[in-house]
Chains A and B, each alone.
Chain A
Protein backbone atom coordinates (compact mmCIF):
# COMPACT_ATOMS: atom_id res chain seq x y z
CA UNK A 1 0.00 0.00 0.00
CA UNK A 2 2.83 2.32 0.86
CA UNK A 3 4.47 1.96 -2.54
CA UNK A 4 1.05 2.36 -4.12
CA UNK A 5 0.60 5.79 -2.54
CA UNK A 6 3.74 7.14 -4.20
CA UNK A 7 2.88 6.11 -7.75
CA UNK A 8 1.96 8.71 -10.38
CA UNK A 9 -1.45 6.99 -10.67
CA UNK A 10 -2.17 7.78 -7.01
CA UNK A 11 -1.00 11.37 -7.43
CA UNK A 12 -3.35 11.95 -10.36
CA UNK A 13 -6.29 10.24 -8.61
CA UNK A 14 -5.77 12.40 -5.53
CA UNK A 15 -5.43 15.56 -7.64
CA UNK A 16 -8.64 14.85 -9.57
CA UNK A 17 -10.51 13.84 -6.41
CA UNK A 18 -9.43 16.89 -4.42
CA UNK A 19 -12.01 19.25 -5.90
CA UNK A 20 -14.80 16.69 -5.48
CA UNK A 21 -13.78 16.41 -1.82
CA UNK A 22 -13.61 20.18 -1.40
CA UNK A 23 -17.03 20.76 -2.98
CA UNK A 24 -18.61 17.96 -0.93
CA UNK A 25 -16.97 19.25 2.24
CA UNK A 26 -18.51 22.68 1.69
CA UNK A 27 -21.93 21.16 0.95
CA UNK A 28 -21.45 19.15 4.18
CA UNK A 29 -20.82 22.41 6.03
CA UNK A 30 -24.11 23.77 4.71
CA UNK A 31 -25.93 20.56 5.72
CA UNK A 32 -24.62 20.72 9.30
CA UNK A 33 -25.42 24.43 9.53
CA UNK A 34 -28.98 24.06 8.15
CA UNK A 35 -29.78 21.21 10.56
CA UNK A 36 -28.50 23.03 13.66
CA UNK A 37 -29.87 26.42 12.65
CA UNK A 38 -33.27 24.75 12.16
CA UNK A 39 -33.26 23.58 15.78
CA UNK A 40 -31.90 20.01 15.69
CA UNK A 41 -29.25 19.04 18.27
CA UNK A 42 -25.65 18.81 17.01
CA UNK A 43 -25.49 15.00 17.17
CA UNK A 44 -28.33 14.57 14.62
CA UNK A 45 -26.55 15.85 11.47
CA UNK A 46 -23.22 14.40 12.66
CA UNK A 47 -24.53 10.88 13.40
CA UNK A 48 -26.71 10.87 10.28
CA UNK A 49 -23.74 11.77 8.07
CA UNK A 50 -21.62 8.95 9.49
CA UNK A 51 -24.19 6.15 9.24
CA UNK A 52 -26.39 7.23 6.31
CA UNK A 53 -23.66 9.00 4.27
CA UNK A 54 -25.84 10.14 1.37
CA UNK A 55 -26.14 13.88 0.82
CA UNK A 56 -29.46 14.20 -0.99
CA UNK A 57 -31.27 11.77 1.34
CA UNK A 58 -29.87 13.57 4.39
CA UNK A 59 -31.02 16.99 3.14
CA UNK A 60 -34.52 15.70 2.43
CA UNK A 61 -34.80 13.82 5.76
CA UNK A 62 -33.64 16.81 7.81
CA UNK A 63 -35.83 19.16 5.76
CA UNK A 64 -38.89 17.02 6.48
CA UNK A 65 -38.04 16.68 10.18
CA UNK A 66 -37.64 20.47 10.51
CA UNK A 67 -40.81 21.18 8.53
CA UNK A 68 -42.79 18.84 10.79
CA UNK A 69 -43.35 16.35 7.95
CA UNK A 70 -43.12 13.48 10.41
CA UNK A 71 -40.51 10.73 10.92
CA UNK A 72 -42.25 8.30 8.57
CA UNK A 73 -42.17 10.69 5.60
CA UNK A 74 -38.56 11.65 6.44
CA UNK A 75 -37.37 8.03 6.41
CA UNK A 76 -39.45 7.02 3.37
CA UNK A 77 -38.29 9.92 1.19
CA UNK A 78 -34.65 9.31 2.11
CA UNK A 79 -34.98 5.61 1.27
CA UNK A 80 -36.61 6.32 -2.11
CA UNK A 81 -33.75 8.70 -2.91
CA UNK A 82 -31.21 6.03 -1.97
CA UNK A 83 -32.65 3.09 -3.95
CA UNK A 84 -30.37 4.20 -6.79
CA UNK A 85 -27.35 3.16 -4.70
CA UNK A 86 -28.40 -0.47 -5.28
CA UNK A 87 -27.87 0.00 -9.02
CA UNK A 88 -24.60 1.83 -8.37
CA UNK A 89 -23.34 -0.95 -6.09
CA UNK A 90 -23.93 -3.45 -8.91
CA UNK A 91 -21.87 -1.29 -11.26
CA UNK A 92 -18.84 -1.16 -8.92
CA UNK A 93 -19.16 -4.64 -7.35
CA UNK A 94 -16.13 -6.00 -9.20
CA UNK A 95 -13.78 -3.14 -8.22
CA UNK A 96 -14.16 -3.39 -4.41
CA UNK A 97 -11.68 -6.26 -4.04
CA UNK A 98 -12.02 -9.92 -3.08
CA UNK A 99 -12.15 -9.86 0.75
CA UNK A 100 -15.31 -9.90 2.84
CA UNK A 101 -14.17 -6.81 4.77
CA UNK A 102 -13.42 -4.89 1.56
CA UNK A 103 -16.90 -5.65 0.29
CA UNK A 104 -18.68 -4.77 3.56
CA UNK A 105 -16.71 -1.55 4.06
CA UNK A 106 -16.67 -0.62 0.38
CA UNK A 107 -20.47 -0.87 0.16
CA UNK A 108 -20.81 2.04 2.60
CA UNK A 109 -18.67 4.23 0.31
CA UNK A 110 -20.97 3.84 -2.72
CA UNK A 111 -22.09 7.38 -3.61
CA UNK A 112 -22.98 9.20 -6.85
CA UNK A 113 -19.64 10.99 -6.95
CA UNK A 114 -17.42 8.01 -6.14
CA UNK A 115 -19.19 5.70 -8.60
CA UNK A 116 -18.99 8.30 -11.39
CA UNK A 117 -15.31 8.89 -10.63
CA UNK A 118 -14.58 5.16 -10.56
CA UNK A 119 -16.36 4.29 -13.81
CA UNK A 120 -14.57 7.14 -15.59
CA UNK A 121 -11.20 5.36 -15.13
CA UNK A 122 -9.84 3.44 -18.12
CA UNK A 123 -8.69 0.10 -16.63
CA UNK A 124 -9.57 -2.29 -13.73
CA UNK A 125 -6.49 -1.54 -11.57
CA UNK A 126 -7.10 2.18 -11.82
CA UNK A 127 -10.82 1.74 -11.15
CA UNK A 128 -10.12 -0.15 -7.92
CA UNK A 129 -7.62 2.46 -6.69
CA UNK A 130 -9.97 5.28 -7.74
CA UNK A 131 -12.88 3.81 -5.80
CA UNK A 132 -10.95 3.58 -2.53
CA UNK A 133 -9.01 6.85 -2.83
CA UNK A 134 -12.05 8.89 -3.86
CA UNK A 135 -14.44 7.06 -1.51
CA UNK A 136 -12.37 7.25 1.68
CA UNK A 137 -11.39 10.87 1.01
CA UNK A 138 -15.01 11.81 0.30
CA UNK A 139 -16.18 10.13 3.51
CA UNK A 140 -13.61 12.12 5.50
CA UNK A 141 -14.39 15.41 3.73
CA UNK A 142 -18.16 15.06 4.01
CA UNK A 143 -18.17 14.21 7.73
CA UNK A 144 -15.57 16.84 8.62
CA UNK A 145 -17.63 19.43 6.73
CA UNK A 146 -20.87 18.43 8.49
CA UNK A 147 -19.24 18.64 11.92
CA UNK A 148 -17.75 22.05 11.12
CA UNK A 149 -21.09 23.33 9.83
CA UNK A 150 -22.99 22.00 12.84
CA UNK A 151 -20.49 23.76 15.16
CA UNK A 152 -20.65 27.00 13.19
CA UNK A 153 -24.45 26.91 12.92
CA UNK A 154 -26.03 30.01 11.47
CA UNK A 155 -22.70 31.80 10.87
CA UNK A 156 -22.51 30.16 7.39
CA UNK A 157 -24.05 32.04 4.47
CA UNK A 158 -25.87 30.55 1.48
CA UNK A 159 -23.51 28.25 -0.47
CA UNK A 160 -25.40 29.07 -3.69
CA UNK A 161 -23.58 32.44 -3.61
CA UNK A 162 -20.38 30.56 -4.50
CA UNK A 163 -22.07 28.62 -7.31
CA UNK A 164 -21.55 25.29 -5.56
CA UNK A 165 -24.92 24.01 -6.74
CA UNK A 166 -23.55 24.16 -10.31
CA UNK A 167 -20.35 22.31 -9.36
CA UNK A 168 -22.00 18.95 -8.64
CA UNK A 169 -23.84 18.55 -11.99
CA UNK A 170 -20.66 19.75 -13.76
CA UNK A 171 -18.62 17.07 -11.95
CA UNK A 172 -21.06 14.46 -13.27
CA UNK A 173 -20.93 15.89 -16.82
CA UNK A 174 -17.13 15.64 -16.85
CA UNK A 175 -17.24 12.08 -15.51
CA UNK A 176 -19.91 10.59 -17.81
CA UNK A 177 -18.82 12.39 -20.99
CA UNK A 178 -16.28 9.73 -22.07
CA UNK A 179 -18.89 6.95 -21.79
CA UNK A 180 -21.48 9.05 -23.65
CA UNK A 181 -19.04 9.87 -26.44
CA UNK A 182 -17.83 6.35 -27.14
CA UNK A 183 -20.97 4.26 -26.65
CA UNK A 184 -23.92 5.21 -28.84
CA UNK A 185 -26.26 2.69 -27.24
CA UNK A 186 -25.58 4.02 -23.72
CA UNK A 187 -25.92 7.59 -25.00
CA UNK A 188 -29.38 6.90 -26.42
CA UNK A 189 -30.52 5.21 -23.21
CA UNK A 190 -29.14 8.04 -21.05
CA UNK A 191 -30.75 10.83 -23.10
CA UNK A 192 -34.13 9.08 -23.12
CA UNK A 193 -33.83 8.45 -19.35
CA UNK A 194 -32.90 12.07 -18.59
CA UNK A 195 -35.82 13.35 -20.70
CA UNK A 196 -38.21 11.06 -18.81
CA UNK A 197 -36.81 12.19 -15.44
CA UNK A 198 -37.16 15.88 -16.33
CA UNK A 199 -40.70 15.38 -17.67
CA UNK A 200 -42.02 13.77 -14.48
CA UNK A 201 -40.07 15.95 -11.98
CA UNK A 202 -42.90 18.45 -11.30
CA UNK A 203 -45.42 15.66 -10.71
CA UNK A 204 -43.74 12.99 -8.55
CA UNK A 205 -41.91 12.90 -5.17
CA UNK A 206 -38.14 13.60 -5.00
CA UNK A 207 -36.03 10.59 -5.93
CA UNK A 208 -38.62 9.01 -8.22
CA UNK A 209 -37.63 10.86 -11.45
CA UNK A 210 -34.10 9.47 -11.42
CA UNK A 211 -35.40 5.93 -10.86
CA UNK A 212 -37.83 6.27 -13.77
CA UNK A 213 -34.84 7.24 -15.93
CA UNK A 214 -33.79 3.57 -15.82
CA UNK A 215 -36.68 2.94 -18.25
CA UNK A 216 -34.33 4.51 -20.81
CA UNK A 217 -32.46 1.18 -20.76
CA UNK A 218 -35.18 -0.31 -23.01
CA UNK A 219 -33.36 1.23 -25.99
CA UNK A 220 -29.96 -0.04 -24.77
CA UNK A 221 -28.34 -2.74 -26.89
CA UNK A 222 -30.74 -2.43 -29.83
CA UNK A 223 -29.27 -2.55 -33.33
CA UNK A 224 -26.82 0.21 -34.06
CA UNK A 225 -25.39 -0.48 -30.56
CA UNK A 226 -21.84 0.31 -29.53
CA UNK A 227 -20.20 2.72 -31.95
Chain B
Protein backbone atom coordinates (compact mmCIF):
# COMPACT_ATOMS: atom_id res chain seq x y z
CA UNK B 1 0.00 0.00 0.00
CA UNK B 2 1.19 3.50 -0.85
CA UNK B 3 2.08 5.87 2.01
CA UNK B 4 -0.22 8.74 3.00
CA UNK B 5 2.26 11.35 1.75
CA UNK B 6 2.49 9.66 -1.65
CA UNK B 7 -1.32 9.37 -1.85
CA UNK B 8 -1.71 13.08 -1.09
CA UNK B 9 0.92 13.85 -3.73
CA UNK B 10 -0.95 11.77 -6.34
CA UNK B 11 -4.21 13.60 -5.59
CA UNK B 12 -2.59 17.06 -5.68
CA UNK B 13 -0.60 16.44 -8.88
CA UNK B 14 -3.65 14.99 -10.59
CA UNK B 15 -5.85 17.87 -9.40
CA UNK B 16 -3.39 20.61 -10.42
CA UNK B 17 -2.63 19.04 -13.81
CA UNK B 18 -6.29 18.44 -14.60
CA UNK B 19 -7.24 21.98 -13.63
CA UNK B 20 -4.44 23.35 -15.81
CA UNK B 21 -5.82 21.38 -18.80
CA UNK B 22 -9.31 22.69 -18.07
CA UNK B 23 -8.06 26.26 -17.91
CA UNK B 24 -6.60 26.17 -21.43
CA UNK B 25 -9.87 27.19 -23.11
CA UNK B 26 -10.98 29.93 -20.68
CA UNK B 27 -7.43 31.35 -20.48
CA UNK B 28 -7.02 31.63 -24.24
CA UNK B 29 -10.56 32.87 -24.86
CA UNK B 30 -10.67 36.48 -26.02
CA UNK B 31 -6.87 36.81 -26.12
CA UNK B 32 -6.16 35.03 -29.36
CA UNK B 33 -8.12 35.81 -32.49
CA UNK B 34 -8.24 32.83 -34.77
CA UNK B 35 -9.22 32.69 -38.45
CA UNK B 36 -12.75 31.37 -39.08
CA UNK B 37 -11.47 27.97 -40.20
CA UNK B 38 -9.54 27.47 -36.94
CA UNK B 39 -12.46 28.67 -34.82
CA UNK B 40 -14.52 25.67 -35.94
CA UNK B 41 -11.82 23.22 -34.90
CA UNK B 42 -12.42 23.08 -31.13
CA UNK B 43 -16.10 22.18 -31.61
CA UNK B 44 -15.25 19.59 -34.28
CA UNK B 45 -12.44 18.26 -32.07
CA UNK B 46 -14.85 17.90 -29.13
CA UNK B 47 -17.25 15.83 -31.27
CA UNK B 48 -14.35 13.66 -32.51
CA UNK B 49 -13.22 13.06 -28.90
CA UNK B 50 -16.76 12.28 -27.72
CA UNK B 51 -17.39 9.78 -30.54
CA UNK B 52 -14.03 8.08 -29.81
CA UNK B 53 -14.95 7.96 -26.10
CA UNK B 54 -18.34 6.42 -26.77
CA UNK B 55 -16.91 3.90 -29.26
CA UNK B 56 -14.11 2.73 -26.95
CA UNK B 57 -16.45 2.96 -23.93
CA UNK B 58 -19.13 0.85 -25.63
CA UNK B 59 -16.82 -1.84 -27.02
CA UNK B 60 -13.72 -2.12 -24.83
CA UNK B 61 -12.82 -2.68 -21.19
CA UNK B 62 -9.22 -2.77 -19.95
CA UNK B 63 -7.83 -3.00 -23.50
CA UNK B 64 -10.03 -5.96 -24.50
CA UNK B 65 -13.59 -6.58 -25.72
CA UNK B 66 -16.22 -5.46 -23.20
CA UNK B 67 -18.62 -8.37 -23.92
CA UNK B 68 -21.90 -8.28 -25.86
CA UNK B 69 -24.36 -6.90 -23.29
CA UNK B 70 -22.88 -3.40 -23.14
CA UNK B 71 -22.59 -2.65 -26.89
CA UNK B 72 -26.05 -4.20 -27.42
CA UNK B 73 -27.49 -1.84 -24.80
CA UNK B 74 -25.73 1.14 -26.40
CA UNK B 75 -27.07 0.07 -29.82
CA UNK B 76 -30.65 -0.03 -28.49
CA UNK B 77 -30.19 3.45 -27.00
CA UNK B 78 -28.58 4.75 -30.21
CA UNK B 79 -31.40 3.39 -32.39
CA UNK B 80 -33.98 5.09 -30.17
CA UNK B 81 -32.02 8.36 -30.29
CA UNK B 82 -31.91 8.10 -34.11
CA UNK B 83 -35.71 7.76 -34.18
CA UNK B 84 -35.96 10.91 -32.06
CA UNK B 85 -36.86 9.31 -28.71
CA UNK B 86 -36.59 11.59 -25.66
CA UNK B 87 -33.27 11.60 -23.83
CA UNK B 88 -34.44 9.77 -20.65
CA UNK B 89 -35.94 6.96 -22.78
CA UNK B 90 -32.61 6.52 -24.61
CA UNK B 91 -30.61 6.24 -21.39
CA UNK B 92 -33.04 3.97 -19.55
CA UNK B 93 -33.45 1.67 -22.58
CA UNK B 94 -29.66 1.33 -22.95
CA UNK B 95 -29.09 0.47 -19.29
CA UNK B 96 -32.23 -1.69 -19.12
CA UNK B 97 -31.40 -3.82 -22.14
CA UNK B 98 -27.80 -4.37 -20.97
CA UNK B 99 -29.11 -5.37 -17.53
CA UNK B 100 -31.72 -7.73 -19.06
CA UNK B 101 -29.12 -9.39 -21.30
CA UNK B 102 -26.86 -9.94 -18.28
CA UNK B 103 -29.74 -11.31 -16.24
CA UNK B 104 -30.35 -13.73 -19.14
CA UNK B 105 -26.75 -14.88 -18.97
CA UNK B 106 -25.18 -12.82 -21.79
CA UNK B 107 -21.85 -11.39 -20.67
Residues on the A chain within 8 Å of B46, using CB: 87-88, 90-92, 115-116, 119
Q: With A119-B43, A172-B50, A214-B45 known to touch, is A86 a contact of B14 (CB < 8 Å)? A: no
Within 8 A of A (CB), among B39-56: 40-56
Q: Does B10 contact A (CB under 8 A)?
A: yes
B11, B22, B55, B88: the one within 8 Å of A194 (CB)? B55
Q: Give the size range of B's interface with the partner.
A: 35 or more
Distance in Å from the Cβ of A160 to the closest Cβ of chain B? 7
Q: Is the Cβ of A89 less than 8 Å from the Cβ of B78?
A: no
A90, A163, A201: the one within 8 Å of B45 (CB)? A90
Residues on the B chain within 8 Å of A206, using CB: 63
- Tell me if B's interface is mostly helix, strand, loop or mixed: helix
B19, B43, B93, B94: the one within 8 Å of A91 (CB)? B43
Residues on the A chain within 8 Å of B40, using CB: 221
Q: Is the Cβ of A161 less than 8 Å from the Cβ of B99?
A: yes
Q: Is the Cβ of A52 less than 8 Å from the Cβ of B14?
A: yes
Q: Is the Cβ of A167 less than 8 Å from the Cβ of B94?
A: yes
In the complex formed, the residue of B with least CB distance to A26 is: B95
Q: Is the Cβ of A166 less than 8 Å from the Cβ of B94?
A: yes
In the complex formed, the residue of B with least CB distance to A193 is: B48
Residues on the B chain within 8 Å of A93, using CB: 25-26, 28-29, 42
Q: Does A177 contact B (CB under 8 A)?
A: yes
Q: Which of A2-10, A101-109, A143-151 makes up part of the contact surface?
A: A101-109
Nearest 9 A/B pairs, CB to CB: A89-B25, A166-B73, A170-B77, A163-B98, A170-B94, A213-B52, A163-B99, A93-B25, A166-B98
26 A-B residue pairings within 8 Å (CB atoms): A19-B87, A57-B14, A57-B18, A68-B1, A71-B6, A71-B7, A74-B10, A75-B9, A79-B14, A86-B21, A89-B23, A90-B45, A91-B46, A92-B25, A106-B26, A107-B25, A162-B95, A167-B73, A169-B54, A169-B58, A169-B94, A173-B54, A176-B50, A186-B44, A196-B52, A198-B55
For the complex with contacts A169-B77, A214-B49, A220-B41, 11 further pairs of A-B residues with Cβ separation under 8 Å are A79-B17, A79-B18, A85-B22, A86-B21, A90-B46, A107-B26, A166-B72, A170-B73, A185-B44, A214-B45, A220-B48
